[in-house]
Amino acid sequence: MTLYSLLVAPFADYGFMRRALVASVALAMGSGPIGVLLMLRRMSLAGDALSHAVLPGAALGFLAAGGVSLPAMGLGGLVAGLGVALMSGLVTRTTVLREDASFASFYLTSLALGVLIVSLHGSNRNLLHVLFGTILAIDATALYVVGGIASLNLVILALVYRPLVVECFDPGFLRAVGGRGSSYHFLFLFLVVLNLVAGFQALGTLMAVGLMMLPAIIAQLWARTLPAMMLIAASTAALSGFVGLIASFHLGLASGPTIILTASVLYGASLLFGPSGVVRRLFPRPHLAG
């Protein structure tokens, strides 16, 4: 097998492979940086919670549109996800409850509501299959949605980068200089939900979180500064998409899980060989040798 037929031919020969690749690169651009911020805020699991929160909205969108409709399901998911994010934020800032506790209570409520709505549909039709796409079935519309969300995401992130970072590391300072910390926090949660909505069209919610968090965690193993971490996260996510698709094509494995497991392999390698990894720690470089 030549290098061309291994790496290029699948994409040159098949439109669905090209669209899948473009979608995963777009997702990577959006989710990578967001994942890094999530992780630095110690909210690595909040993404998971929010992804479940999206379910009832997407289900309602599906039922309202009477079929698979990306705009309806996306909008429904966005509203439900934002609702949970806002409510948990509100409860956290007004009661004694911590953020993780409020996230847990609201996402569980939302998830239960979603399952109820799906089963209320009466026929037990396998809505979950329909709700969550496979990356191989991405069409032009889905590509525009994913691409649009990724672009919007990057623009917003660029505009509020400073206050967001300050809010992340030193909220007290931001308040002292007159910044409105909570509004940035909510804007950030909005971006998280937006990316998850983009991701569930392509990979399914669970997979979407995987592509968001794993590359971010890998990035922390390699880099020390925030811009470098974001860059590494985005490119690792894109690389996982590429390698995962290639593996799925040649080995006949289901595409979504293969992409995430590729990221997991990269994570394992980074754990071992990264600058703060196991190998470096066991065999430290001699100090000032030579």
Partner 1 sequence: MKGTTFIGGLIVSATLGLTASAASAKTLNVVASFTVLADVVKEVGGDHVQVKSLVGPNGDVHEFEPSPDDAKTLKAADLAFVSGDGLESWFEKLAKSAGYKGKPVVASEGIKTRKMEEDGKTVTDPHVWNSAANVIVWVSNIEKGLIAADPEDAEDIKASAAKYTKELQDLDAYAHSKIGAAPKDKRKILTSHDAFGYFGKEYGLALLSPLGVSTEKEASAADVAKLIDQIKKEKVKAYFIENSNDPRLVKQVADATGAEPGGELYVESLSDADGPAPTYAKMFRYNVDQVAAAISK
Question: CA 135 to CA 139: how far, in whole Å?
Answer: 9
Interhelix angle 70-94/46-65, rounded to 10 degrees, is 140
Our finding on whether 72 is near partner 1 (CB under 8 A) is no
Measured from the CB atom, is 95 or 119 closer to partner 1?
119
Question: Which is it for the CA torsion 36, 37, 38, 41, positive or negative?
Answer: positive
> Out of 129, 162, 180, 280, which residue is the one contacting partner 1 (CB under 8 A)?
129
Our finding on whether 85 is near partner 1 (CB under 8 A) is no
Cα 128–Cα 250–Cα 216 angle in degrees, nearest 5? 60
Measured from the CB atom, is 92 or 248 closer to partner 1?
248
- Sorted by sequence, the CB contacts under 8 Å of residue 3 that are 6+ apart come out as none
> Out of 76, 81, 256, 274, which residue is the one contacting partner 1 (CB under 8 A)?
256
User: What is the residue whose two structure tokens read 């069409």?
Assistant: 139
> Out of 236, 240, 248, 262, which residue is the one contacting partner 1 (CB under 8 A)?
248
Residues 137-156 that bind partner 1 (CB under 8 A): 137-139
Measured from the CB atom, is 164 or 207 closer to partner 1?
207
Kindly state the greatest CA–CA separation across the chain: 75
Only segment of 16-24, 39-47, 92-100, 169-177 that touches partner 1 (CB under 8 A): 16-24
The b-or-e profile of 206-234 (16+ CB within 10 A means b, else e) is bbbbbbbbbbbbbbbbbbeebeebbbbbb
Our finding on whether 183 is near partner 1 (CB under 8 A) is no
252: left (phi over 0), alpha (psi -120 to 50) or beta: left
> Out of 12, 68, 155, 159, which residue is the one contacting partner 1 (CB under 8 A)?
68
Give the end-to-end CA distance of the chain in Å, rounded to a whole number.
Answer: 44
Our finding on whether 249 is near partner 1 (CB under 8 A) is yes
Measured from the CB atom, is 87 or 206 closer to partner 1?
206
CB of 250 to partner 1, least distance (A): 7
- Sorted by sequence, the CB contacts under 8 Å of residue 105 that are 6+ apart come out as 88
Site size with partner 1, rule: CB under 8 A: 34
Only segment of 8-16, 42-50, 187-195, 225-233 that touches partner 1 (CB under 8 A): 8-16
Measured from the CB atom, is 172 or 252 closer to partner 1?
252
What are the Cα distances from residue 26, in Å, to 75, 121, 139?
Answer: 19, 33, 14
CB of 249 to partner 1, least distance (A): 4
> Out of 17, 43, 202, 230, which residue is the one contacting partner 1 (CB under 8 A)?
17
Our finding on whether 250 is near partner 1 (CB under 8 A) is yes
41 — phi, psi (to 5°)? -85, 10
Our finding on whether 270 is near partner 1 (CB under 8 A) is no
Measured from the CB atom, is 137 or 156 closer to partner 1?
137
CB of 35 to partner 1, least distance (A): 24
CB atoms within 10 A of CB 64: 12
Q: Which of 82, 197, 64 is nearest to 142 (CA)?
A: 197
Residues near partner 1, by CB under 8 A? 10, 13-17, 20, 68, 119, 122-126, 129-130, 133-134, 136-139, 245, 248-258
